[in-house]
Amino acid sequence: MTTDLPAPFVGLRTEIKPEWIDHNGHFNAGYYFVVFDDAITDWMAFVGLDEAHRAANEVTTFSVEGHITFERELSLGDPIEVRTQLLAWDHKKFHYIHFMHHATEGWLAATNELLSMHISQRTRRSAPMAPDVLDRLAAIEAAHSVLPVPPQVGRVIGINAGRAS
Domain assignment of residue 154, yes or no: no
Domain assignment of residue 152, yes or no: no
Domain assignment of residue 17, yes or no: yes
Kindly report the number of other CB atoms within 10 A of residue 150's CB atom.
17
Please give the tally of structural domains in the chain: 1
Reading the chain (165 residues) residue by residue, the pLDDT tens digits are 456 899 999 999 999 999 999 999 989 999 999 999 999 999 999 999 999 999 999 999 999 999 999 999 999 999 999 999 999 999 999 999 999 999 999 999 999 999 999 999 999 999 999 999 999 999 999 999 999 999 999 988 888 766 555
Range of the domain at 104: 9-144
Domain assignment of residue 162, yes or no: no
What does pTM read for this prediction?
0.92
Question: What is the structure's pLDDT at 158?
Answer: 85
Domain assignment of residue 70, yes or no: yes
Q: What are phi and psi of 59, to 5 degrees?
A: -130, 165
Domain assignment of residue 150, yes or no: no
CATH at 107 = 3.10.129.10
Report DSSP letters for 52-71, one per residue.
HHHHHHTEEEEEEEEEEEE-
Domain assignment of residue 3, yes or no: no
Domain assignment of residue 111, yes or no: yes
